Amino acid sequence: MSYLDTQPMSLSDAKYHLALATPSPNAELLDEMVRRLPEHAVDLTEFAIALALDRLGATEDDTAETSSTETSSAVSKAMSRFHNRLYAEKKAALSSSEGSVGNPFASMPRSELKTFARAINANLPFVMKLRDRQIREDTMSEGFKRRVTEALEVPHDVVIAHFSAPAEVRLDARFKAEGKPEPGAKQTFEEAVRGSGLTSEQQEYLLKL
């Protein structure tokens, strides 16, 4: 039994252990954290991926004597494991719901969601609402739906089908409740835009699409 097994652990504790790992958190440590906190499997995996990307970028910019080749290789292997775990988690969650509509955001880690948010002149909280189908499709403008289609680079009917489907519960919520958790009521597009912490310029842009 390891030292970690004898200690209570919170999500912040697990992220602390991942952040301390050098040159980046390895797959074995991530497996240990997920085993201890299975309800946070997706969050921990996305956090580990973000750390690996950050460490890789720092190594490539570093002019010190430490070679980036070995670190880059280690990070690449770890990221492969992280992505495999994330894919498996999301695929299992999607397949557990019969008749569920494919989610074009499902395979996107947090870093890609942030990139998508910038592409549509929005922020991560707003994109999370799009991902989890928290906004009524019939209140979105055609211009906005087309903009999302362009940014995602998927067929337009996939985007429409996603937004038209019932609201989706966060993947890790299935660990927290007995039985199938129920999603909340959807917001109108304007409510989502006004209530996501967007700047006034971002709100004006999205509402005029």
Give the range among 133-147, 165-179, 195-209 with minimum mean pLDDT.
165-179
Q: Write out pLDDT tens, residues 182-197.
A: 455 899 999 999 999 9
Give 120's pLDDT tier (boundaries 50, 70, 90).
very high
Q: Write out pLDDT tens, residues 71-113.
A: 455 555 555 655 565 555 555 544 444 334 578 998 888 889 9
Distance CA 62, CA 134 (A): 42
Give the range among 54-58, 98-102, 128-132, 156-160 with minimum mean pLDDT.
98-102
Distances (CA, A) of 98 to 36, 94, 108: 29, 8, 22
Residue from 27, 25, 35 nearest 2 by CA: 35
Q: Which two tokens stand for residue 119?
A: 């592409």
Q: For position 82, what pLDDT does the model report?
A: 59
Distance CA 98, CA 86 (A): 20
Q: Which residue has the higher pLDDT, 150 or 172?
A: 150
Max avg pLDDT among 2-11, 87-96, 110-119? 110-119
Mean pLDDT of 17-46: 79
Domain ranges of the chain: 9-95, 110-208
Q: Which residue has the higher pLDDT, 97 or 16?
A: 16
Mean pLDDT of 134-160: 93
